[in-house]
Structure formats: structure tokens, C-alpha cells
């Protein structure tokens, strides 16, 4: 008979186990913890934990452990379990009551067996074969169904060979062992059900985020890759920062919950782009709206050439019937010079429209002269400036392809992101998502947007995301307005950003010193971009 003190001690142990299990977030470690706790509380030599897959047709081996044989399979052991699932029904659909674990799952009943070799109601032939191969003697069995709070069997806990605490002899599982194991199984099932539910909700939420990114991708194929790559780079840099043991970031750490929070924030960092007009996001040239208007201007150049040729021909006809070869030659030369000038201006406009290089003041003046000093006749015969005000404004963009108004439209995506995220009822462990995601366009010197925050006002996570966002954009090859850079070019630009207060200098040092950029390049960057970098 078990003493009251010993039983009380085991009850206290059970309570501690329940608290510990409720805190575990990793399902693999949770399952392993359940089995180890059950073995400890019943002093069992071995045990197996089975789960019930979603189809409810079988039992799946999750973890096996036998101390005396030094067997550890499944769980965190790194040793795979190659045993097939145990069917809960036979070929005819009848309950598979011959297997004790299946019986416990089907009937939701605990089975306590004193000696498997003398048990007539269940098939232990597999157990006997195992014993013959290993020299083991499987004797007492305690098989407990794990029922969720809804009464559904979600797994089976099977313990083997209870050991006497005093002598180590194999004994039967006592009634108190059974009661404690059943209580533990109940607590464990609830903890496991809750964790599975949380995992399913997290997967659903992540799928919803991916759906948003897919919608952005469908709007513009030039941003979809960005939404996938920035989270990867963010986590690489954050993990490197958390691993730092000295320097300014030595105190920065991240738990698994912290990592998940940052992961979600990085996945959502550009969700506001779903509100950005496609023609702005995809603006590959200065004159592009729904189409590239440079082709309209091409047509005007052709009209100018036509008018120039017609004017020269009319002048030639005016010389008839008195032919003046010298005058005609002069007209033809003047015509050709005019045509060459038109062609030169057309090529200049085409090159300017690309927006790949910053325009000088002289180039801007030439654009203005083409726009206002050249005139053309439209279909109605009316003369007009060669470029209308909107075309002139776009072609006079000094760098890139966006006007100031269009840049404001693009920049608004982060405002939209913050507004969208701040409206969501975030649970406690995700409450920083809006700040992390909404701060990646801020600068360390306070010149960023949308809030003009400085370094000390930003979390480390937001600063990490800022570096990831910029580096990905520099290296990306799927943008409509630029070709991807070589690694050395991107690093040089990032160094300038560090020097001028754009990005966090301490994080960028880790980015370089810990080789974060190398890890990213190996996974996401084209081979031709991966050149040598001088640190």
C-alpha cells in the first residue's frame, strides 16, 4: 500500500508537470515531455506515445523510449520511427480490438495488464518478437487514452514495465499509478489540444497573410518576391543580433515567441501595398501610366519629320520650272539637318524616359527646350507644344521614374500598413507587430517616414527590418525600373547609408561581420551578382 506522503509527493509532481506542459509551445517537445513525465510519475521503464491523425483511422508512433535498452526514437532524439501506423479498423471495417493500444483508442478506456505473456484478450505477438530480438521481457502494460476537452481521443499513452522503487523489480501498475497516469493523460491531452489548436490558428493566420501577399503579387509581379524575401533576411539578421555576446547588442535576445512576433511583422511589413495603384507600383519608365507614353511622343517625332520633309518638298516645287540645283541642294541639306536634329532629340527623350541615371541641369534644360520650343500639328491641324505639361513634368524627374506625387502615393503604403495593423486585436505576444512592421522606412537620423522617428525611438526589430528591406530592394532583379545590382555595389551603398544616418550602424556591422549577407546571397541571389566584397 502506497504511503500518503509518497502519494502526496506524486500529486505535487503531477501538478508541476501540468504547469510545465501548459507552457510548452513546441509540439514535438510537448509530446516528448508527456511521455517522460508519465514514465517518471509511474516509474515505468519504457513507453510509447501514439497520436491519432486527422483521418482518425490509425494510431501513429510519435515517440518511443525504453531506458534499460537505451532506446530513444522520435521526439527530439533525432532517430526516426519506421514502424507502420496501427490501424483502428480491419479490412472489413470491424474495430481492431486485438491490439491493446487500438482498443484503448477505439473504446476510450484504460487497459492495465499485469503480464502481457499471460494476457488472452490481446495480441502481443509483436511484443514477443521484439523481446526475442532484444532479450527484453515486456511484462506490465498501462495503456491510457488521451481525450481532449471535447471527449475526442487524440492519442494513446502506453507505459511498459513498472518498477518497484525499492527493489527495481518489474511489478504491475498500481491503481494509484493508473489514476495518476489518467490524470496526467487528461492534462496532457488538453495541453496538446490547445497547442494543436494554436498551431492551426497560427497556420491559418499565416495563410491569410500569404493570401494578402499573393493579392499584392497578382497586382504586381514585381513586389511578390519582395514580400517573401524580406522576412527571410529579417530573421537571419535578427538571429545574428540575438547571438551577439559582446558589443552594443549583447543584451538583445529573442525567445521563440519574440521570433514568431518578428516573423509575422516581417510578413506583413508591406501589406499596405494592396492599396497602392498598380500603375504607380509598376511604373518602369517616366512616361508610363497604363502604357508607356513615349510611343505617343515617337509618333509626334514622326509627324515632325513628315512636316519637315513636306516643307522641303514644297520649297523644291516652288523652284519649278526654273531649276536651281544649288538651291535644291541647300534645301535638302537643311532638311537632313532638321531630320537629324529630330532623331537626336527622339533618342534623347527615349534615354531620358528610362530614368536609370540622374539628370544633369543641362539635360533638364534640353528636355524643357524640346517640350516648349518644338511644336507639332495634331490631327486637327492645331499647333501645340511638343510635350504637354504632364509629360514635361515626368521627363524632368531627376532620378528614377516617379514624380513627387507618385512617390507620396508609394510612401503612403506604409501609412496604410500601420492603419491596417493597428486596427487588428493583436494578442499579447503579437502586440508589437504594428511597430515592427511600421518602422522599416524610418531612418536613424529621423529623416524617414511616415513618423520621422529617430534611432532611439525604434525597436531593434524595426531597425533590423529596415536593413532587410533596403538590401533586398538593392539586390532584387524583378523590379520594373532597374536591373539587380552586384553584391559589392549594394554593400557600398549600404555603407554610405550607415555613414549618413540612414540605417542602424551596429546592426549593419553584424550584417557584415557575421556574414548575414552571405547566407542571403547563397539562397536568393543570381550567381552573376555574387562578386567579392571588401569589408
Q: Could you tell me if 254 and 332 lie in one domain?
A: no
In a domain, 464, yes or no: yes
| pLDDT digits 0-9 by tens, 378-395 | 666 678 888 888 888 888
Contact between 520 and 491 (Cβ < 8 Å): no
Q: Could you tell me if 70 and 86 lie in one domain?
A: yes
Whether residue 58 is predicted with pLDDT greater than 90 in this model: the reply is yes
SS3 44: strand
pLDDT classification of 15: cutoffs 50, 70, 90: low
Q: Could you tell me if 179 and 127 lie in one domain?
A: yes
Q: Could you tell me if 8 and 138 lie in one domain?
A: yes
Q: What are phi and psi of 154, to 5 degrees?
A: -110, -5
Q: What are the contacts of 372-381 at 24+ separation with CB within 8 A?
A: 374/304, 374/345, 376/300, 376/303, 376/304, 376/307, 377/303, 377/307
DSSP letter for 398, please: S
Summarize the confidence of residues 110-139 as an average pLDDT.
Answer: 95
Looking at residue 65, its pLDDT comes to 95
Residue whose cell numbers read 501577399: 213
Summarize the confidence of residues 278-289 as an average pLDDT.
Answer: 60
Summarize the confidence of residues 438-449 as an average pLDDT.
Answer: 91
Looking at residue 54, its pLDDT comes to 85
Looking at residue 232, its pLDDT comes to 93
In a domain, 208, yes or no: no
Whether residue 262 is predicted with pLDDT greater than 80 in this model: the reply is yes
- 173, three cell numbers: 501498475
Looking at residue 22, its pLDDT comes to 63
More reliable by pLDDT, 240 or 197:
240
Cα distances (Å, whole numbers) of residue 496 to 233, 317, 492, 503: 20, 64, 6, 9
Q: Classify strands 44-51 and 153-163 as parallel, antiparallel or unpaired.
A: antiparallel
Whether residue 346 is predicted with pLDDT greater than 90 in this model: the reply is no
Highest mean pLDDT among 32-36, 380-384, 395-399, 462-466: 462-466
Domain membership of residue 312 as a residue range: 294-401
Distance CA 95, CA 106 (A): 7
Whether residue 504 is predicted with pLDDT greater than 60 in this model: the reply is yes
Report residue 341 CA to chain centroid gap: 52
Summarize the confidence of residues 349-369 as an average pLDDT.
Answer: 83
Whether residue 203 is predicted with pLDDT greater than 80 in this model: the reply is yes
Beta strands in 168-303 (DSSP E): 170-171
- 8, three cell numbers: 502526496
Distance CA 419, CA 435 (A): 11
Summarize the confidence of residues 117-123 as an average pLDDT.
Answer: 94
- The CATH number linked to 269 is 1.10.3210.10
Summarize the confidence of residues 78-91 as an average pLDDT.
Answer: 91
Looking at residue 183, its pLDDT comes to 85
Q: Could you tell me if 17 and 156 lie in one domain?
A: yes
Looking at residue 306, its pLDDT comes to 74
In a domain, 395, yes or no: yes
Could you give the percent of the chain with pLDDT greater than 70? 85
Q: Could you tell me if 391 and 434 lie in one domain?
A: no
Q: Could you tell me if 178 and 273 lie in one domain?
A: no
Summarize the confidence of residues 499-523 as an average pLDDT.
Answer: 94
Could you give the percent of the chain with pLDDT greater than 90? 39
Q: Could you tell me if 47 and 155 lie in one domain?
A: yes
Whether residue 67 is predicted with pLDDT greater than 90 in this model: the reply is yes
Nearest CA among 271, 265, 240 for reference residue 253 = 240
Provide the sign of the torsion angle of the four alpha carbons 226, 228, 233, 238, taken in this order. positive
In a domain, 534, yes or no: no
Strand partners, 44: 162
pLDDT classification of 255: cutoffs 50, 70, 90: very high
Looking at residue 454, its pLDDT comes to 95
In a domain, 287, yes or no: no
Looking at residue 535, its pLDDT comes to 75
Contact between 158 and 141 (Cβ < 8 Å): yes
SS3 214: helix
pLDDT classification of 217: cutoffs 50, 70, 90: low
Whether residue 249 is predicted with pLDDT greater than 80 in this model: the reply is yes
Looking at residue 250, its pLDDT comes to 93
Whether residue 5 is predicted with pLDDT greater than 60 in this model: the reply is no
Summarize the confidence of residues 229-257 as an average pLDDT.
Answer: 93
Looking at residue 330, its pLDDT comes to 84
Looking at residue 195, its pLDDT comes to 76
Nearest CA among 165, 158, 208 for reference residue 50 = 158
Cα distances (Å, whole numbers) of residue 212 to 219, 410, 462: 11, 18, 21
pLDDT classification of 276: cutoffs 50, 70, 90: low
The structure's pTM equals: 0.62
- The CATH number linked to 11 is 3.30.450.40
DSSP letter for 427, please: -
Cα distances (Å, whole numbers) of residue 107 to 86, 155, 288: 15, 12, 69
Helix locations, 456-528, DSSP H: 460-475, 487-499, 505-513, 516-524
Distance CA 508, CA 515 (A): 11
Summarize the confidence of residues 472-485 as an average pLDDT.
Answer: 72
Q: Could you tell me if 470 and 387 lie in one domain?
A: no
| pLDDT digits 0-9 by tens, 304-341 | 777 777 777 777 777 766 567 788 788 778 888 888 88
In a domain, 191, yes or no: yes
In a domain, 174, yes or no: yes
Contact between 147 and 109 (Cβ < 8 Å): no
Q: Could you tell me if 37 and 148 lie in one domain?
A: yes
More reliable by pLDDT, 8 or 31:
31
Highest mean pLDDT among 105-114, 193-202, 278-287: 105-114
- 295, three cell numbers: 510611343
Distance CA 39, CA 35 (A): 6
Summarize the confidence of residues 340-357 as an average pLDDT.
Answer: 83
* HEC string for 89-116: ECCCCCECCCCHHHHHHHHCCCEEECCH
Distance CA 264, CA 248 (A): 26
Q: Could you tell me if 31 and 160 lie in one domain?
A: yes
pLDDT classification of 280: cutoffs 50, 70, 90: low
DSSP code per residue over 304-369 = HHHHHHHHHHHHHHHT-SS--HHHHHHHHHHHHHHHHHHHHHHHHHHHHHH--SPPPHHHHHHHHH
Among candidate residues 342, 377, 401, the one where a domain is terminated: 401
More reliable by pLDDT, 466 or 166:
466
Looking at residue 2, its pLDDT comes to 52
Q: Number of folded domains in the chain? A: 3
Q: Could you tell me if 109 and 19 lie in one domain?
A: yes
Q: What is the mean pLDDT of the chain?
A: 84
Summarize the confidence of residues 178-204 as an average pLDDT.
Answer: 82
Looking at residue 125, its pLDDT comes to 93
- 225, three cell numbers: 518576391
Among candidate residues 367, 401, 435, the one where a domain is terminated: 401
In a domain, 207, yes or no: no
Nearest CA among 208, 321, 161, 248 for reference residue 509 = 248
Amino acid at each position: 500500500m502506497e504511503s500518503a506522503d509518497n502519494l502526496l509527493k506524486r500529486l505535487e509532481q503531477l501538478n508541476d508537470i501540468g504547469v510545465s506542459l501548459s507552457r510548452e509551445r513546441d509540439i514535438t517537445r510537448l509530446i516528448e515531455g508527456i511521455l517522460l513525465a508519465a514514465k517518471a510519475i509511474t516509474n515505468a521503464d519504457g513507453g510509447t506515445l501514439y497520436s491519432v491523425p486527422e483521418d482518425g483511422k490509425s494510431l501513429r508512433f510519435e515517440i518511443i523510449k525504453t531506458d534499460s535498452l537505451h532506446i530513444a526514437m522520435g521526439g527530439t532524439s533525432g532517430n526516426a520511427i519506421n514502424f507502420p501506423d496501427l490501424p483502428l479498423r480491419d479490412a472489413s471495417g470491424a474495430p481492431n480490438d486485438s491490439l491493446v493500444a487500438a482498443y484503448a483508442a477505439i473504446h476510450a478506456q484504460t487497459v492495465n495488464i499485469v503480464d502481457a505473456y499471460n494476457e488472452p484478450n490481446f495480441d502481443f505477438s509483436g511484443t514477443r518478437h521484439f523481446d526475442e530480438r532484444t532479450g527484453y521481457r515486456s511484462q506490465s502494460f498501462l495503456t491510457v487514452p488521451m481525450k481532449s476537452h471535447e471527449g475526442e481521443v487524440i492519442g494513446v499513452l502506453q507505459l511498459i514495465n513498472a518498477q518497484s522503487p525499492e527493489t527495481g523489480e518489474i511489478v504491475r501498475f498500481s491503481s494509484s499509478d493508473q489514476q495518476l497516469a489518467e490524470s496526467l493523460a487528461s492534462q496532457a491531452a488538453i495541453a496538446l489540444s490547445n497547442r494543436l489548436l494554436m498551431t492551426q490558428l497560427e497556420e491559418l493566420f499565416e495563410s491569410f497573410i500569404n493570401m494578402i501577399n499573393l493579392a499584392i503579387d497578382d497586382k504586381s509581379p514585381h513586389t511578390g518576391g519582395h514580400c517573401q524575401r524580406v522576412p527571410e533576411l529579417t530573421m537571419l539578421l535578427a538571429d545574428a543580433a540575438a547571438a551577439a555576446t559582446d558589443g552594443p547588442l549583447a543584451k538583445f535576445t529573442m525567445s521563440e515567441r519574440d521570433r514568431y512576433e518578428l516573423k509575422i511583422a516581417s510578413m506583413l511589413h508591406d501589406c499596405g501595398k494592396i492599396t497602392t495603384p498598380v500603375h504607380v507600383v509598376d511604373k518602369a519608365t517616366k512616361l508610363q501610366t497604363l502604357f508607356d507614353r513615349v510611343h505617343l511622343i515617337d509618333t509626334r517625332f514622326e509627324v515632325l519629320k513628315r512636316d519637315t520633309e513636306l516643307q522641303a518638298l514644297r520649297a523644291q516645287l516652288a523652284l519649278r520650272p526654273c531649276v536651281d540645283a544649288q538651291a535644291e541642294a541647300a534645301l535638302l541639306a537643311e532638311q537632313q539637318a532638321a531630320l537629324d536634329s529630330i532623331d537626336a532629340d527622339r533618342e534623347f527623350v527615349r534615354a531620358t524616359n528610362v530614368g536609370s541615371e540622374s539628370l544633369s541641369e543641362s539635360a533638364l534644360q534640353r528636355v524643357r527646350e524640346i517640350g516648349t520650343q518644338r511644336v507639332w500639328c495634331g490631327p486637327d491641324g492645331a499647333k501645340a507644344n511638343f510635350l504637354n505639361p504632364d509629360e514635361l513634368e515626368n521627363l524632368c524627374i531627376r532620378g528614377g521614374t516617379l514624380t513627387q506625387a507618385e512617390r507620396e502615393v508609394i510612401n503612403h503604403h506604409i501609412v496604410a500598413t500601420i492603419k491596417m495593423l493597428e486596427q487588428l486585436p493583436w494578442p499579447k505576444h503579437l502586440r508589437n507587430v504594428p511597430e515592427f512592421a511600421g518602422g522599416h522606412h524610418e531612418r536613424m537620423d529621423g529623416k524617414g517616414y511616415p513618423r520621422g522617428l529617430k534611432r532611439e525611438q525604434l525597436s531593434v526589430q524595426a531597425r533590423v527590418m529596415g536593413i532587410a528591406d533596403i538590401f533586398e530592394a538593392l539586390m532584387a532583379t524583378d523590379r520594373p525600373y532597374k536591373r539587380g545590382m552586384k553584391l559589392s555595389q549594394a554593400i557600398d551603398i549600404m555603407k554610405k547609408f550607415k555613414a549618413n544616418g540612414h540605417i542602424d550602424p551596429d546592426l549593419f556591422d553584424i550584417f557584415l561581420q557575421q556574414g548575414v549577407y552571405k547566407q542571403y546571397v547563397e539562397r536568393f541571389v543570381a550567381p552573376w551578382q555574387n562578386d567579392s566584397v571588401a569589408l
